[in-house]
Amino acid sequence: MRVKRYLENPIITPEMVKPYHEGFEVIGAFNAGVAQYNGEILLVLRVAERPISDDPAIVKAPVFDAKERRVHVFDFRLDDERYDYSDPRVIRDRSTGQLAYLTSLSYLRLARSKDGRHFSIDDTPFVYPSNSMESFGIEDPRVTQMGETYYIYFSAVSLKGIGEVLVSTKDFVSITRHGMIFAPENKDVVLFPEKIGGKYFALHRPVPKGVGDPEIWIAESPDLLHWGNHRHLFGLRKGSWDSRRIGGGAVPIKTKQGWLELYHGADQEDRYSMGAVLLDLYDPGKVIARSREPILKPEAAYEVNGFFANVVFSCGALVEGDRIQLYYGAADQSMALAEFSLAEILDSLSVGVYE
């Protein structure tokens, strides 16, 4: 598999993004959804902002307050033994093992480009938390275009859980909110770009507690807003690069051979790579073939070093003939771009390794 990483990578870094919140710094501009609109390539960036702390013994946690429509910042002492600070992204309650706070607040912001490589970034948010189910922020958007409507969906994070919220726009200025379409715990939804057999389809990634793993499911909808007929689609593979966690990545790509989904997988060391799976063109609930090895794994400096090291995580790609331009978040910090041959990815897939 030939992977052509762009020499200008990373194409967007936190330094390029002006903080929106006073007293905050931008620590991530990553995991962007991708759209083509009005002659431009748009990245719907996940921007993560962190309250600046002058005291190295203090960790700060920002929380959006939906009633007051402002962000509160809470201080935590690093020597407070009730909390676990080992993951830089979160503050965990040691007694429950659960997430108690995030160390940054994410929202969505637009980056615009003519050539897909050089971007200018809007000064203000595009989609910002709006209710109590988004109090810890919104993350990892994907964009599916259908006709003139762009459906944008992302993880909404709060103490109530993590679910997937849908909004839509026709002009990337005003948005219509459609509420939470997948209840907690769920992430990594991708909506197929057209109806199949009269129904809309989505991949989604539940995270069950009592039994089951973070694996990829498929669901159906008459209207994109309401989802049913949930079925388990494919799972983790022991000892593999996708042994711990998998989830949908780019919007499924229609090919003659089937729907090609570029998905992410994490291994036991939380190293995130990208692989591919081919789904039946007329029944995407059937897996035809799957990557034995990743098509992209963290190797470049900006992928193996960063806010959360060893991560490549795509939320979108552009396809033109045989050329796939894969936009991806690197190390939960920056955006990067790599080019693939669609035919080479399809050729690399193995049949019968998707159990």
In Å, how far from its chain's centre is CA 130? 19
- Indicate whether 147 belongs to the interface with a copy of itself (CB under 8 A): no
Identity of the residue, 112 or 230, whose beta carbon is nearer to a copy of itself in the bound complex:
230
For 131, other C-beta atoms within 10 Å of its C-beta total: 15
- Indicate whether 98 belongs to the interface with a copy of itself (CB under 8 A): yes
- Indicate whether 65 belongs to the interface with a copy of itself (CB under 8 A): no
Among 160, 195, 292, 323, binds a copy of itself (CB under 8 A): 160
Identity of the residue, 38 or 95, whose beta carbon is nearer to a copy of itself in the bound complex:
95
- Indicate whether 63 belongs to the interface with a copy of itself (CB under 8 A): no
End-to-end CA distance of the chain: 23
Q: How far apart are CA 67 and CA 54, in angstroms?
A: 29
- Indicate whether 181 belongs to the interface with a copy of itself (CB under 8 A): yes
Identity of the residue, 133 or 324, whose beta carbon is nearer to a copy of itself in the bound complex:
133
Token pair for 308: 């959360």
Q: Is the dihedral of CA 250, 251, 256, 257 positive or negative?
A: positive
- Indicate whether 133 belongs to the interface with a copy of itself (CB under 8 A): yes
Identity of the residue, 184 or 294, whose beta carbon is nearer to a copy of itself in the bound complex:
184
Identity of the residue, 159 or 301, whose beta carbon is nearer to a copy of itself in the bound complex:
159
Q: How far apart are CA 324 and CA 347, in angstroms?
A: 14
Among 107, 150, 217, 340, binds a copy of itself (CB under 8 A): 217
Among 119, 172, 182, 192, binds a copy of itself (CB under 8 A): 182
Identity of the residue, 158 or 291, whose beta carbon is nearer to a copy of itself in the bound complex:
158
Q: How far apart are CA 173 and CA 126, in angstroms?
A: 7
Q: Write down the least CB distance from residue 82 to a copy of itself, Å.
A: 16
- Indicate whether 230 belongs to the interface with a copy of itself (CB under 8 A): yes
Identity of the residue, 173 or 211, whose beta carbon is nearer to a copy of itself in the bound complex:
211
Q: How far apart are CA 254 and CA 114, in angstroms?
A: 25
Among 176, 208, 283, 350, binds a copy of itself (CB under 8 A): 208
Q: How far apart are CA 300 and CA 312, in angstroms?
A: 10
Q: What is the dihedral of CA 238, 338, 47, 60, to 10 degrees?
A: 50
- Indicate whether 236 belongs to the interface with a copy of itself (CB under 8 A): no
- Indicate whether 146 belongs to the interface with a copy of itself (CB under 8 A): no
- Indicate whether 151 belongs to the interface with a copy of itself (CB under 8 A): no
What are the angstrom distances between the C-alpha of 338 and each of 114, 117, 274?
17, 11, 12
Pairing label, strands 83-84, 149-158: unpaired
How many residues bind to a copy of itself according to rule CB under 8 A? 44
Q: Write down the least CB distance from residue 229 to a copy of itself, Å.
A: 4
Q: How far apart are CA 259 and CA 192, in angstroms?
A: 9
- Indicate whether 23 belongs to the interface with a copy of itself (CB under 8 A): no
Q: What is the dihedral of CA 242, 327, 334, 77, to 10 degrees?
A: -50
Q: Write down the least CB distance from residue 179 to a copy of itself, Å.
A: 4
Cβ contacts of 222 within 8 Å, gap of 6 or more = 199, 200
Among 39, 56, 147, 210, binds a copy of itself (CB under 8 A): 210
Among 57, 225, 301, 351, binds a copy of itself (CB under 8 A): 225
Token pair for 168: 């839509």
* b/e map 308-340, b = 16+ CB within 10 Å: bbbbbbbbbbbbeeeebbbbbbbbbbbbbbbeb
Phi, psi angle pair for 304, to nearest 5°: -90, -15
- Indicate whether 149 belongs to the interface with a copy of itself (CB under 8 A): no
Interface ranges with a copy of itself (CB under 8 A): 98-99, 132-133, 157-163, 178-186, 204, 206-212, 215, 217, 219-223, 225-232, 235
